[in-house]
Structures are given as C-alpha cells and as structure tokens.
Amino acid sequence: MGSYKNSAILLDRAKQVLAGGVSSEFRKYNHPHAIFYSHGKGSRIYDVDGNEYLDFTLSQGPLILGHSHPHVLKSVAEYSEEGQLYAGQHIREVELAEKLNALIPSAELMRFCLDGSEAVQTAFRVARAKTGRKKFLRFEGHYHGWLDNVAYGISAPNADALGDREQPNVFPWTAGLPDSSRDDFIVLPWNDLELVGRVLEKRHEEIAAIITEPIMCNNGCILPKEGFLSGLRELCNKYGVTLIFDEVITGFRVGLGGAQSYYGVTPDLSIFAKAMGSGYPISAIVGKREWMELVAAGKVIHAGTMNAGNPTVAAALATIEVLEQEMPYDRMHRLGRKLMQGLQRTAAEAAQDLSVQGLGPMFVTYFGVSQPLSDYRDTLGTNKAKLGRFVAGLHDAGVRVIGRGLWYISAAHTEAEINQAIEVASRVLHDMNSA
C-alpha cells in the first residue's frame, strides 16, 4: 500500500486558502482524503507520493483518449500560439460545429459554452421561450450540474424518505438555494413511462421540457428500459413538450453520435460536454433548428466571454479527429464488458455480493442488492459502506475508480490493463473477507 503523506501535507496547506482544500466539491471524496496528482499519461495517473494508478475515473469522464493525448496537446499548443480568445469568430469553431452537425442527429444548430451546467441552463431557457411554459420535468437521481434549479432530487437519506412515486419528496442538495428554484421543476422516478404519461396528461400545460440523461450514468449506470426513450419522444410530441437529452456523460462516450444515435431517438435539444474536450472546458448546447433559431435570432440570449476560445476548440476538434480515425468504440465496449464480467466472476469466487451494471464504456459496481437497479430508489438500498471499502482497497492497490463505484474505459486502456484490474479487484475482494 502506498503512502499519501505528501498529499496530506499539501491538503493541510491548501485548506488555508482553498475552501475545503479543493476547487470542486467532489474532489474532497477521494481516498483517504483529497489527493494531489503530479501528472497523467495514457491510462495512468501519478500522485505526489509517487503512487501510480491505473485510472478508471478519467477525471470524471472527460479523458476519453486517456491523459495527455499527444494529438490533443499539439493542436492546443498550435492554435493557442495563433491567439487565445478574440471576442469574435474564428474558423475552427465553425469547423467544430460542422463536425457535430455531421455526427449528432439533433445538432442542426448549436452554441458552445464552457461546461455542462451552463449548457443545461441554456437548454431550459430555449425550451421555456419555445413553449411559453415554465417548468421542466426531471428524474430522481439524475445529475444536471450544480446550479440552483437542478440541485434537488439528487440525494436522499433512503428510499422510504422519497415517499410517494407520483409526488416524490425532493431533498435540496445544498444550503443557500432560493425558495423560487423549487417552482422550476417536477421530479419523478426514472424509467416509468406510464407515470410520465399520467403526469403529462394532467400537467402538460405547465411543462416546457423533459430533461433526462439517456443512460442514468450518475446513479447506478441504469440503462433505459426498452421503449422508455422513444416513449418520452412520443409523449413530448403529443403534448408539445421539449425533449432534452443531457449527454454530458454519454456524448462521445457510447459512440460518436452519443446516446441519441445509439438508441435511435432524436431529442429536440441536447447537451454535450466532458468527453468532447479531453479535459478542456468546452460544452455544446445543440438542437433542432426550430428550437435553436430562437438563439440565432437573439430572442433567447446566450453569451459568455470565454466561450469557444482557441485552446478549447482545438482540444475538441483534435479529440474528435482521433475518435473518427481510430474508431475505438467497439474496443471500448468490448473491454468494458470484459472488465464487467471479470469483476462479476471474481466477486462470485470471493463470495462477495458485488453486482456490476452498465454499458461497457461506463458501468458501476455496487454491493448488497442482487437484482438489477432500475431507478434511483433501487440504488438507495445498496451497501455504500462496503462499496467505500472496495474502492479504497482498489485505490491502495493502484486502481482508481470514482467513489460512487463508477468506472470509465478510455481508448488508451489495453486488454492487459483490464486483466490487471480484474486481478487487483480479486485480491481486494478476497481481502475484504478477512478484514
């Protein structure tokens, strides 16, 4: 087991000037505390104590090509040399938009932003303007960023506390939310088309949009039930509601056209971020012309001093170039499935109640519930303490995964590394028996 001594010293120092020692809340929850890293290369990341990790966090998803991909670094350096930000247009943002337009079914018109959170809010604004309605319908356990009106329905103490499925209790995620933000949304359990249909029938005149992660990656890596996404599409058509896919995770991860291509369901608006930019701050709100014309005409305002600067556009173009050239998707799906199966097999050998669920390029591991998870309420019954021990054990043995049990596969991972991860997991699972 490696030492975390240097990280601990730096964390103490950081806490004097950085709130909690970090720049994003989630970074606090590493093992055994926030860790300081020195560099990353391919599928590996290294910390300031000299520990090397086989990295399945990929910085919470963005590093689809692995760390420090040479083509991305070269393009960023070259375009940054030319200039950084013009408060004006440059040819490469048009090239990037043309690329997205060719790859993503719903991307007729688009705007670039810096991150997923603000692109989500842009989508709400467009949907409200288009429909003249105020609320959006969202789903329990889905994450759409950290801003006020989406900071509910992400956390709950337990499934019982959520109460009635048709009118769930919603728990604020943070202090400091204005009361008015509660009026923005309706929350429902996910994957229950019949329930969405009933609520829309009664309340569609209030509802501007339905927003959903097409795969519920943030909790349980739950796949949509057969017909759920296409059913949402039909309901939205029927009731004049905007369908928004939040593809911040699924975009460029499940395939070049995102989950909308993978499942063959075209939303009206969608959000792309994370894997699109290989770790550089760029996102896109893309949509059908009928919706995005409101932005084009200046009726819906979208702005941002830092939007579409040279380095971020360069990173996105270079990432997509590599993805198009190498087409790593079959491989990432296959390696992911191999890892999922290996973990499941090894858990059975160690008599551990570990389950694995997801698509391959991303999946979760959880303990204590044997049946597949199909909505957020199911995830609340899993054994979080045991998952914490598993993730900590992996980390101590040089395999880094996201604390809530989420694993991402990159184009840089090799077959040998998948075998290595399975071997490490096997040791950790056996050791957990004796702990």
Ligand X SMILES: Cc1ncc(COP(=O)(O)O)c(C=O)c1O
144 forms part of the interface with ligand X (CB under 6 A):
yes
Residue closer to ligand X, measured from CB, 204 or 274? 274
Determine, following the binding rule CB under 6 A, whether residue 213 of this chain makes contact with ligand X.
Answer: yes
The residue assigned the tokens 């290989």 is 278
Query: Residue 45 has what DSSP assignment?
Result: E
Interaction of residue 64 with ligand X, rule CB under 6 A: no
Among 112, 143, 272, 329, binds ligand X (CB under 6 A): 143
Among 47, 93, 246, 417, binds ligand X (CB under 6 A): 246
The answer to whether residue 219 forms part of the interface with ligand X (CB under 6 A) is: no
Which of 192, 246, 268, 375 is flagged as catalytic? 246
DSSP string, 137-187: EEETT----SSGGGSBSS--S-TGGG--SSS----BSSS---GGGGGGEEE
| Closer CB to ligand X, 64 or 424, in the complex | 64
Min. distance of Cβ 145 from ligand X in angstroms?
4
Start-end of H helices in 136-227: 193-203
In the complex, what is the shortest distance from the CB of residue 286 to ligand X, in angstroms, rounded to a whole number? 14
**Residue 307 makes contact with ligand X by CB under 6 A:** no
Q: Are 7 and 45 in contact (CB under 8 A)?
A: no
Sheet holding 269-272, edge to edge: 109-113, 283-287, 269-272, 242-247, 207-212, 135-139, 185-188
Longest dimension (CA), the chain: 65
Helix (H) or strand (E) holding 41, with range, is strand 37-41
Residue 79 is among the residues annotated as catalytic for this protein: no
Under rule CB under 6 A, residue 352 binds ligand X: no
Q: Active-site residue 274, yes or no?
A: yes
Strands 52-55 and 44-47: antiparallel
Cα(75)–Cα(109) distance, rounded to whole angstroms? 25
Helical H segments across 5-50, by residue range: 5-15
Q: Which stretch binds ligand X (CB under 6 A): 241-249, 285-293, 297-305, 411-419?
A: 241-249
Per rule CB under 6 A, count of chain residues that contact ligand X: 14
Binding mask 415-434 for ligand X (x = CB under 6 A): --------------------
Burial class of 416 by CB neighbour count within 10 A (0 to 12, 13 to 18, 19+) = exposed
Query: If binding is defined by CB under 6 A, does position 251 make contact with ligand X?
Result: no
Give dist(CA 379, CA 144) in Å, integer.
18
Catalytic residue, candidates 4, 53, 143, 280: 143
In the bound state with ligand X, the residue whose beta carbon lies nearer, of 115 and 431, is: 115
115 lies in the site for ligand X, by CB under 6 A: yes
Part of the chain binding ligand X (CB under 6 A), chosen from 246-254, 340-348, 382-390, 392-400: 246-254
**230: exposed, middle or buried (Cβ count in 10 Å: 0-12, 13-18, 19+):** middle
Cβ distance 107 to 100 under 8 Å? Answer: yes
Residue 265 lies near ligand X (rule: CB under 6 A): no
Q: Which residue is nearest to ligand X (CB)?
A: 116
Q: How far apart are CA 272 and CA 213, in angstroms?
A: 11
Nearer to ligand X, 96 or 424 (CB): 96
Closest approach of Cβ 146 to ligand X, in Å? Answer: 7
Stretch that binds ligand X, among 97-105, 142-150, 332-340, 390-398 (CB under 6 A): 142-150
Toward ligand X, which CB reaches closer, 273 or 409? Answer: 273
Q: Calculate the alpha carbon distances from 129 to 122, 140, 242 in Å.
A: 11, 25, 11
Residue 223 CA to residue 203 CA, distance in Å, equals 27
Between residues 30 and 117, which has the closer beta carbon with respect to ligand X? 117
| Nearest distance, CB of residue 218 and ligand X, angstroms | 5
Query: Binding of ligand X at residue 116 (CB under 6 A)?
Result: yes
Give yes or no for a contact between 209 and 203, defined as CB atoms under 8 angstroms apart: no
Number of residues in the chain: 435
- List contacts with ligand X (CB under 6 A): 60, 115-117, 120, 143-145, 213, 218, 246, 248-249, 273
Q: Which residues are known to be catalytic? A: 143, 246, 274
